[in-house]
Amino acid sequence: MTTSMPATPFTEPAPAQRLERAAAALSAHGFAVEILDDAATARTRIKDLIPDGAGVFTGASETLRLSGIEEDINAGGRYQAIRPRVLVMDRTTQADDIRRLASAPDVIVSSVQAVTETGSLVIASGSGSQLPGCAGGAARAIWVVGAQKVVPDLDTALRRVEDHCLPLETARTQLAHGWPSAVNRILVLNAEPRPGRGTVLLLREAIGF
């Protein structure tokens, strides 16, 4: 039996049953999962999850930008925000310092390109700067995920990355920087071996790519 997908499978929010199935699978794989109504609720919840003064690195994410979470962390003054710091550092003379700061923060806050109903997170990147922290370098990781990113399985997740996310990200980078994006690295998190480290805030609404 084949599971039917909606006509626009990569943009429509997954219904409650699919969200709950993904949440249950992620929980079984060691992730802490919270299903929240919307990005505004996630924005408030983030403040409860991150202690004041923590060193926080935000992955490049439309979800974080659109929700206001990126601004809260990087411009709010509550945390030791790492992204604004590395953006003004010299890419040649301070490359090692940039790498260390981004790879092992106290907390990384990011999003994903897909979450599967079998309990995996899929993160694609052009530069790879956020991947070490997500993979285990950060003491804690928090991912904010719109409901449209829930897919049945890993094959569909990879198709979502190439067919849906990449064109949108390329349009963004062309406008912002003058060059296209690329899927140079893909990280698949199948489980979290350190209980309490990784939290997925799974939203009932669509947001981001």
pLDDT in tens, 163-179: 999 999 999 999 888 98
Structure tokens that stand for 169 in this block: 């990200």
**Mean pLDDT confidence for 148-162:** 97
How many Å apart are CA 159 and CA 196, to the nearest integer? Answer: 30
In the predicted structure, residue 45 carries a pLDDT above the cut 60: yes
In the predicted structure, residue 72 carries a pLDDT above the cut 50: yes
The pLDDT of residue 8: 55
How many Å apart are CA 80 and CA 14, to the nearest integer? Answer: 35
| CA 51 to chain centroid | 20
pLDDT band at 23 (very low <50, low <70, confident <90, very high): very high
**Mean pLDDT confidence for 127-142:** 96
Percent of the chain with pLDDT over 90: 91
Sign of CA dihedral 133, 131, 127, 68: negative
How many Å apart are CA 11 and CA 134, to the nearest integer? Answer: 24
Helix (H, G, I), strand (E, B) or coil at 122: strand
**Alpha helix (H) residue ranges in 29-143:** 39-49, 62-67, 69-75, 82-87, 95-103, 131-132
Torsion angle, CA of 47/205/121/56, rounded to 10 degrees? -20
Q: Mean pLDDT for the chain?
A: 94
The pLDDT of residue 177: 87
Can you give the pTM of this predicted structure?
0.94
Distances (CA, A) of 120 to 88, 105, 157, 170, 179: 34, 23, 9, 25, 30
Question: Over the stretch 13-22, which tens digit does the pLDDT of each residue have?
Answer: 999 999 999 9
Host H or E run for residue 153? none
3-state SS of 56-74? EEECCCHHHHHHCHHHHHH
Indicate the residue type of 92.
T
Q: How far apart are the first and last CA of the chain?
A: 29
The strand pairing partners of 114, in sequence order, are 122
Pairing assessment for the beta strands 114-116 and 150-151 based on DSSP bridges: parallel
pLDDT band at 2 (very low <50, low <70, confident <90, very high): very low
